[in-house]
């Protein structure tokens, strides 16, 4: 949001580069991975093991584990809780 | 093995209040929170809070959080962030994970202030990306600056549903409707009024039949329900949306307490199973206390009072506060809790709730309220009209008028009373009302025009001289008007006041405006 | 009834509502009972999302008030934690 009625204009924050399934994308320093993905228009974070159904962000607060992805080789990372880091490699399972 | 005197699990309003109260009495307090940022739910609350002075009423949630945190830190409270309490074991031992290290910690006293989690509503398609908790959407929007979509359906008309809908609109999304399965709105009337004025319909006795979409939500079908909550076939309506927010209640997070064998009781009104506690907020396990939503889902103001109660009780039990001094403080808290919960507390004898009555009823639903001036007074010059018709614990309006024209008294659930003789129609009260329920009406602006001052918390702000649509309380356009003033000093705390001039015949109806141009962009 | 069809109740383990109803038909009366038969509540979120929904289904099907349906027991850890981390204890 460029100019919010309560927050005002966002302070210029450092950008970091992430890689989603090898594809480069931009994120803001200090935001959770899930927020960065959603800001880049990504809504499907993974497909389920049994039915192959799309899942994304559900609770956004680290409880439902729907938003899990493999981050820098570590599986089942709750992307709504973990903050972005420069050069992070994110893999969506079965997408 | 780490050892502490008082450990508080959860750094939200309840946790911070208990830490502050215990530390004030001299206890050594450590607060643990799994999040990277403290403040619990406060940090994503951008609206002004209700309650009274003791609850920082009138301040925006995130500012209350900042203030409480500073208070705690100034008192020497130790705060551990990014620290997950994964278990609560025998003898008040906690298992903590911080930085991939397992840290056991023993405490003399524990306060569980772990809050509550959002409920889910199941319907075909509820697992599609785009269907999310309303609190989750609020976190994304208010904390991370990301909109989950552009067109939303809100499910649930409790305070969370009403407030989050408003905040989504502030962020630039459209809310196509709020659906509520019950036959009445669940949240405060002022929150519902705020959202209706924006033209968002609240569909009562409706629920979601299904959500559809290829890889994410693209449309929802709503259906009417009868008094037994059964869907009525043939009443379907489909809307095109790209996200659906579920605001269907919260359930206390009692996991840690249950693990430690604290007893819990099912109390539907409080959200489900809550940890049983006495008036001191102590659970059935000595030395373990609860506060806030995990003791029962209520309000932030109640969470703070419960936190204070737990902190003081703990200090008493540690011998840091003398019994009689402690009792006095606890009695005050009990009185405030009763007041916040709407139980009559008689500070004075049967107070008169009435006020200036209007000679004509008219179809203005607020005319007969003590906060409404008489028609005679309205015809005499600019004056405040307080459209607050529900007894809720809230009284900041009583402190903002420099002429003391507004009073509430105790209990603070009383409706505000307007002394219309003292009122000059200056409009200072408008940004002070957390419910945005106060307006200034001036029927003497010109022979054919009236002027209304109203709160406008959106961007872009209208410009001087701009032509706008004037809306009634249902968000319906009734006439057009011209903006002649926009006041937005910093002391209004981000609630700009817009003065709009329009056809006088609509002076009793116009309570909102809509700009004719688009302004928002996504990030 | 095809168990792989129909609306999901347990998001983590992808357990359908039809499976839960079947478990109740076969005698499950508690949330733990349904969990053991269907795996609902055994996934990564440990029932945090579906526990309440399963309770409600049991209450409706068995005509008990929801407060009398036994909730599942809470065992540590209450958050997903890798075993290696649990073993990495600070002195």
Q: How confident is the model at residue B347 (pLDDT cuts 50, 70, 90)?
A: very low
Nearest to B250 by CA among B395, B130, B138: B138
| Domain carrying residue A49 | 14-91
Q: Which residue has the tokens 């329009």?
A: B502
Task: Say what the pLDDT of residue B361 is.
Answer: 33
- Which of these, B359, B132, B373, B291, lies nearest to A35 by C-alpha position? B132
Best A64, A67, A71, A73 member to test C by mutation, with max C CBs in 10 Å, is A64
- First CA to last CA distance, chain B: 47
Across B463-467, average pLDDT: 96
**Which element (helix H / strand E) includes B277?**
none
Question: pLDDT grade, residue B153 (50/70/90)?
Answer: very high
Nearest to B57 by CA among B432, B327, B401, B389: B432
Percent over 90 (pLDDT), chain B: 80
Token readout for A50 is 């049994």
- The whole-number pLDDT of residue A61 equals 87
| Dist. CA B28–CA B244, nearest whole Å | 45
- Asked if the Cβ–Cβ distance from C53 to B120 is below 8 Å, we say yes
**Position B377 pLDDT exceeds 60:** yes
pLDDT band of A90, cuts 50, 70, 90: very high
Q: Is residue A2 part of a domain?
A: no
Nearest one of B430, B425, B350 to B388, comparing CA atoms: B430
CB contact under 8 A, B60 and A6: yes
DSSP 8-state secondary structure symbol assigned to residue B20: H
pLDDT for the residue numbered C91: 64
Parallel, antiparallel, or unpaired: how do β-strands B477-487 and B406-407 relate? unpaired
| Nearest of B136, B181, B130 to residue B151 by alpha carbon | B130
Contact at CB, C44 and A55, closer than 8 angstroms: no
Query: Which of A82-86, B49-53, B450-454 bottoms out in mean pLDDT, i.e. has the lowest?
Result: B49-53
B274-307 as b/e: b if 16+ CB within 10 A: bbbbeeebbbebeebbbbbbbbbbbbbbbbbbbb
Find, among B433, B452, B343, the residue nearest to B388 by Cα.
B433
CATH of the domain at A66: 3.10.20.440
Indicate if the pLDDT at residue C62 is higher than 80.
yes
What pLDDT is attached to residue A2?
63
Spell out which residues of chain C touch residue B122, defining contact as CB-CB under 8 Å.
7-9, 17, 53
Q: pLDDT at position B59, please?
A: 87
Q: At what angle do helices C31-38 and C17-25 cross, to 10 degrees?
A: 110
- Per-residue confidence (pLDDT) for residue A1, from 0 to 100: 60
**Overall domain count for chain A:** 1
Predicted confidence band at B57 (pLDDT cuts at 50, 70, 90)?
A: confident
Q: Residue B136 corresponds to which tokens in the numbers above?
A: 């989750």
H or E stretch covering B210: strand B206-212
CB contact under 8 A, C14 and A68: no
Residue B94's DSSP bridge partners are: B88, B105
Q: Which of B249, B247, B243, B250 is nearest to B131 (CA)?
A: B243
Lowest-confidence region among B146-150, B256-260, B361-365: B361-365
**Chain A partners of B458 at a C-beta cutoff of 8 Å?**
5
Do B259 and C76 lie within an 8 Å CB cutoff? yes
User: For residue B117, which residues of chain A lie inside 8 Å, CB to CB?
Assistant: 59, 61, 63
Asked if A66 lies within 8 A of C11 by C-beta distance, the reply is yes
Report CB contact under 8 Å: A63, B117.
yes
Q: Which tokens go with B312? A: 């003081």
Contact by Cβ (8 Å): A57, A80? yes
- Span B321-327, mean pLDDT? 92
Specify the higher pLDDT residue, B60 or C5. Answer: B60
CA nearest to B478, candidates B500, B511, B517: B511
Q: What are phi and psi of B40, to 5 degrees?
A: 60, -130
Alpha helices by DSSP H, listed for B128-230, are: 134-138, 159-170, 189-196
pLDDT one-digit tens code per residue, B98-151: 988 999 999 999 999 999 989 999 999 999 999 999 999 999 999 899 999 999
Answer yes or no: is A25 within a domain.
Answer: yes
Chain B residue set in contact with A, beta carbons under 8 Å: 34-36, 46, 60, 117-118, 120, 127-133, 135-137, 139-142, 144-148, 170-172, 215-216, 457-460, 494, 520-523
CA distance C74 to B258: 7
Q: Of C42, C39, C71, nearest to C55 (Cα)?
A: C71
Tell me, what DSSP letter sits at residue A93? T
The pLDDT assigned to B344 comes to 57
Contact (Cβ atoms closer than 8 angstroms) between residue B477 and residue B197: no
**Half-sphere exposure (Cβ direction) of B521: Cα atoms closer than 13 Å:** 4
Does the pLDDT at position B452 exceed 50?
yes
Edge to edge, the sheet with strand B151-155 lists B131-133, B243-246, B151-155, B174-180, B202-204
Record the tokens describing residue C65, joined without a space: 């008030």
Contact B101 C85 (CB under 8 A): yes
pLDDT computed for residue B350 by the predictor:
28
Q: What is the mean pLDDT of residues C42-55?
A: 91
Assess contact for B10 and B303: CB atoms under 8 A: no
**Domains defined for chain B, CATH in brackets:** 2-116+250-340 (3.50.50.60), 120-246 (3.50.50.60), 375-514 (no CATH)
HSE, side-chain direction, 13 A CA sphere, residue B60: 20
Mean pLDDT of B156-183: 96
Q: Which of residues 10-39 of A touch B (CB under 8 A)?
A: 10, 31-32, 34-35, 38-39
| CATH for the stretch C8-87 | 1.10.10
Q: Quick check: is A47 in a domain?
A: yes
Q: Which residues pair with B111 in a beta bridge?
A: B8, B289
ipTM score of the complex?
0.93
Cβ-proximal residues to B380 (8 Å cutoff; 6+ apart), any chain: B444
B124·C7 Cβ contact <8 A: yes
Instruction: Indicate the pLDDT class of residue B48, thresholds 50, 70 and 90.
Output: confident
pLDDT of residue B80: 95
**Residue A81 domain-assigned?**
yes
Contacts of B140 in chain A (CB under 8 A): 34-35, 38, 57, 60
Spatial separation of the C-alpha atoms in residues C33 and A34, rounded to whole Å? 35
**Contact A50/C4, CB-based, under 8 Å?**
yes
Q: Which of A34-43, B31-40, B77-86 shows the lowest mean pLDDT across its residues?
A: B31-40
| B87 to C85: CB separation less than 8 angstroms, yes or no | no
Over residues A39-70, the pLDDT tens digits come to 999 999 999 999 999 999 999 988 899 999 99
Q: What pLDDT score was predicted for residue B343?
A: 65
Beta-carbon contacts of A12 under 8 Å, excluding residues fewer than 6 positions away, are: none
Beta strands B237-240; B219-224: pairing state: antiparallel
pLDDT at A9: 73
Q: Which of C:18-77 have CB within 8 Å of B?
A: 48-50, 52-53, 66-68, 71, 73-77
Distance, CA of B432 to CA of B437 (rounded, Å): 10
CB pairs under 8 A between A and B: 102
Q: How confident is the model at residue B349 (pLDDT cuts 50, 70, 90)?
A: very low
Choose the closest CB to C67 out of B97, B100, B266: B266
Per-position DSSP letters for B92-138, written without gaps between them: GEEEEEETTEEEEEEEEEEEE---EEE-----TTTTSTTEEEHHHHH
| Residue in C4, C44, C48 closest to A76 by CB | C44
d(CA B58, CA B64): 10
Q: What is the pLDDT of residue C67?
A: 85
The answer on pLDDT for B345 being more than 60 is no
Do B259 and C78 make contact, defined as CB atoms within 8 angstroms? Answer: yes
Q: Contact, B241 vs B151, CB < 8 A?
A: yes
CB contact under 8 A, A60 and B117: no
CA distance A94 to chain B (A): 13
Instruction: Identify all chain C residues contacting A46, using CB atoms and an 8 Å cutoff.
Output: none
- pLDDT, average across residues B255-283: 93
CB contact under 8 A, C89 and B103: yes
| Contacts (Cβ under 8 Å, ≥6 apart) of B96 | B32, B80, B83, B84, B85, B86, B102, B103, B104, B105
User: Given CB atoms, is A48 within the 8 Å cutoff of chain C?
Assistant: yes
Interface contact B120, partner C, CB < 8 A: yes
CB contact under 8 A, A57 and B131: no
Chains touching chain B, criterion 3+ CB pairs below 8 Å: A, C
As a whole number, mean pLDDT of residues B395-402 equals: 92
What integer is the mean pLDDT of A27-43? Answer: 94
Q: Are strands A23-28 and A15-20 parallel, antiparallel or unpaired?
A: antiparallel
Average pLDDT of B303-326?
Answer: 95
> Omega before C77 cis (within 30°)?
yes
- pLDDT band per the 50, 70, 90 thresholds, residue B351: very low
Any CB–CB contact under 8 A between A45 and chain B? yes
Average pLDDT (A23-40) is 94
């Amino acid at each position: 949001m460029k100019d919010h009625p309560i927050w005002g204009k966002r302070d210029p924050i450092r950008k970091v580069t992430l890689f989603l399934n090898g594809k480069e994308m931009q994120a803001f320093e200090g935001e959770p991975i899930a927020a960065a993905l959603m800001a880049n228009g990504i809504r499907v974070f993974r497909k389920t093991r049994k039915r192959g159904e799309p899942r994304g962000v559900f609770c956004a607060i680290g409880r439902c584990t729907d938003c899990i992805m493999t981050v820098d080789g570590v599986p089942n990372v709750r992307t709504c809780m973990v903050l972005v880091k420069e050069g992070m490699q994110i893999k969506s399972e079965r997408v | 093995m780490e050892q502490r005197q008082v450990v508080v699990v959860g750094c939200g309003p309840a946790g911070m209040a208990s830490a502050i109260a215990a530390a004030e009495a001299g206890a050594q307090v450590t607060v643990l929170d799994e999040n990277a940022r403290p403040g619990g739910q406060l940090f994503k609350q951008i609206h002004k809070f209700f309650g009274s002075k003791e609850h920082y009423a009138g301040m925006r949630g995130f500012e209350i959080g900042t203030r409480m945190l500073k208070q705690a830190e100034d008192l020497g409270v130790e705060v551990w962030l990014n620290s997950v309490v994964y278990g609560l074991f025998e003898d008040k031992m906690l298992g903590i994970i911080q930085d991939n290290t397992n840290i056991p910690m023993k405490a003399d006293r524990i306060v569980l202030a772990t809050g509550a989690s959002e409920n889910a509503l199941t319907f075909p398609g509820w697992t599609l990306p785009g269907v999310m908790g309303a609190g989750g959407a609020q976190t994304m929007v208010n904390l991370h600056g990301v909109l989950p979509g552009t067109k939303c359906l809100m499910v649930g008309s409790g305070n969370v549903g009403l407030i989050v809908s408003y905040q989504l609109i502030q962020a630039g999304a459209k809310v196509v409707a709020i659906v509520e399965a019950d036959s009445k709105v669940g949240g405060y009337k002022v929150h519902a009024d705020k959202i209706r004025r924006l033209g968002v319909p609240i569909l009562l006795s409706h629920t979601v039949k299904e959500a559809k979409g290829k890889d994410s939500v693209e449309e929802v079908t709503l259906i009417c329900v009868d008094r037994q909550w059964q869907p009525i076939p043939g009443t379907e309506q489909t809307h095109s949306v790209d996200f659906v927010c579920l605001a269907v209640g919260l359930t206390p997070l009692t996991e840690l307490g249950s693990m430690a064998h604290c007893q819990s009781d099912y109390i539907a009104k409080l959200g489900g199973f809550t940890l049983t506690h006495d008036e001191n907020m102590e659970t059935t396990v000595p030395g373990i206390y609860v506060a806030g939503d995990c003791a029962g889902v209520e309000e932030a103001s109640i969470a703070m009072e419960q936190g204070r109660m737990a902190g003081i009780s703990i200090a008493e039990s540690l011998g840091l506060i003398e019994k009689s001094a402690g009792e006095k403080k606890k009695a005050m808290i009990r009185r405030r809790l009763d007041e916040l919960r709407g139980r009559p507390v008689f500070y004075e004898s049967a107070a008169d709730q009435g006020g200036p009555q209007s000679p004509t009823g008219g179809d203005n639903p607020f005319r007969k309220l003590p906060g409404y001036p008489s028609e005679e007074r309205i015809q005499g010059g600019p004056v405040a009209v307080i459209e607050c018709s529900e007894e809720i614990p809230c009284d900041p309006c009583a402190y903002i008028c420099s002429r003391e024209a507004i009073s509430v008294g105790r209990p603070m659930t009383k409706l505000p009373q307007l002394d219309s003789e003292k009122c000059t129609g200056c409009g200072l009260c408008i940004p002070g009302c957390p419910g945005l329920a106060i307006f200034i009406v001036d029927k003497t602006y010109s022979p054919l025009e009236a002027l209304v001052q109203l709160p406008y918390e959106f961007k872009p702000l209208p410009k001087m001289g701009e032509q706008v649509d004037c809306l009634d309380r249902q968000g319906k356009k009734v006439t057009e008007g011209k903006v002649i003033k926009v006041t937005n000093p910093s002391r209004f705390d981000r609630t700009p006041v817009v003065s709009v001039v329009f056809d006088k015949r609509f002076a009793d109806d116009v309570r909102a405006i809509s700009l004719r141009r688009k302004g928002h962009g996504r990030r | 009834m095809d168990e792989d069809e129909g609306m999901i109740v347990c998001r983590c383990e992808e357990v359908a509502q039809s499976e839960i109803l079947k478990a109740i038909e076969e005698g499950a009366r508690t949330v733990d009972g349904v969990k053991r038969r269907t795996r609902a509540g055994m996934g990564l979120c440990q029932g945090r999302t579906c526990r309440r929904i399963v309770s409600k289904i049991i209450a409706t099907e068995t005509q008990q008030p929801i407060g009398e349906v036994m909730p599942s027991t809470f065992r540590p850890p209450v958050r997903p934690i890798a075993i290696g981390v649990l073993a990495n204890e600070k002195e």
